[in-house]
Amino acid sequence: CSPSRSSYMTGRYSYVQGNGEHAPAGLETELRPDDIIFPEYLRAAGYVTRQVGKCHVGAGKFLDAFGENDQPWDQWSPPVFDDDNFLSYQRKLGVKPQKYAREIVFKQQDRTTAGNSVGGWIEQLDGKPFPMEAQYSYYLGQKAIETIDNLVGTGAAERHPVYLQLDIFDPHQPFSIPAGFEEREKELRRVMTVPRSWEEARNRDFKSAPDEPEIIDIYRRYWGIYDEEQMLNYRIAYILQMELVDKVIGMVLAKLKESGLYEDSLVALISDHGEMNGRRALVDKGAFLYPDVLRVPMVMKLPRHTPATRPVVESPVSLLDLAQTLLEAAGIQAEAKFDGTSLLPVMLGHSEISDRTLLFFGGWHVGVNFACGLQHRFPDGRHFLYSYNCSATVDELYDLSSSDATNLIDDPDNAAVREEMIHRLGKALQSDPRWAGYWTQFRLARFASLPLVKGDMQLLASPA
């Protein structure tokens, strides 16, 4: 969460390599005070900036960007039991706090002892159904609607341009599925299956496969998804949470339309990370570079005065591009250096994006894996992700067109692809001093596949 949010909020590759809940002392887990996140540029240019929901990059930065009245929660999970405003909101609805009616609990490595809870279906403390209107994501949607009403009611939205950021926790474990989804759950149970790679893991008794780096096995043991029924429950719960979020977003968009703001607004929908959703017997995300974790939605609706002529951008894009895209749409040219690029000219049909060197990094979460990797789309349309795991002997190569990707690193049919990806990663790591630590090890570990680089490998400065 934190590394990704730090990255797209600054438009730069992030030095944040861990979440504060797990990282050891000394590792950066939030942005520094002198970093600038893109809403600060908007605020300085005269925008009224408002935010609702999660922060997780350091609350101080959100106060800089959204003002002293902002109430960002700076932790990984929502404060459903200690957010006083939320608890007051629930009481006004006549709803008691939540408890689990059906909880999804995985197992520890002995396959008997209860392990991680990933939430589930909720009810009120007195056992009564828990209404959707009292669920936390719904509450955040209502706060966003109240913010819009305030901006319109005070005339601020008429006098100034407005930036509103809504950060919803769902869909993310621990799940909190309220009443109202019973029929939909029945429909899902009739068709839901487990992933092929989960079945493969079960067939080898959930032991590590030869093509897996150790970090995958660490996370598999951490989650302990040994039971097929619990795996199905997780996948169904995840979909139900997505449908709840869909309702919340629909409420906010309806309010924009009702207020007469929708047509002139740019609306961006993104996620900070993906979800394993049972693939390789894993859920959530982790310190590994797997396609399901790295790929996220990015949907934009442009204002009516700049209608998009290209409904889909086929070229690889990145969350790094969000900051520059929104700033250009606002007519702001920031002097700071960005690692992304504006997608606005592409959506308007004015330019194309050639193949890009987009890097990905792992760090510190439940396990430690300072991985680095990149994607590349070949001229024939094939699209691959290559991952080098600094703390393992196994590299990874994935076909990004696959829905349940397998590691192709030792596949003889993709040997040329592997060598090309190694070469490209080496060139990228060598080109930027920020990646010197990765390059120092990578040039030694993959020496035979890289062009020979002469000189002292201590990376000493040359004499004047």
Q: What is the pLDDT of residues 346-355, one digit of tens each?
A: 999 998 887 7
Residue-level pLDDT at 93: 98
Residue 191 has what pLDDT? Answer: 98
Least confident of 93-97, 143-147, 205-209, 306-310: 306-310
- What is the tens place of the pLDDT at every residue in 383-396? 999 999 998 899 99
- Average pLDDT score over residue span 11-19: 91
pLDDT > 80? residue 460: no
**Sorting pLDDT into bands at 50, 70 and 90, what band is 102?**
very high
* Average pLDDT over every residue of 63-92: 95
Angle at 13 between CA 306 and CA 289, to 5 degrees: 105
pLDDT band at residue 170, thresholds of 50, 70 and 90?
Answer: very high
Q: Give me the pLDDT at residue 354, please.
A: 79
Using the predicted structure, report yes or no on whether residue 464 has a pLDDT greater than 80: no
pTM: 0.95
**pLDDT for position 59:** 95
Whether the per-residue pLDDT at 463 is higher than 70: the answer is no
Give the mean model confidence (pLDDT) for residues 235-254. 98
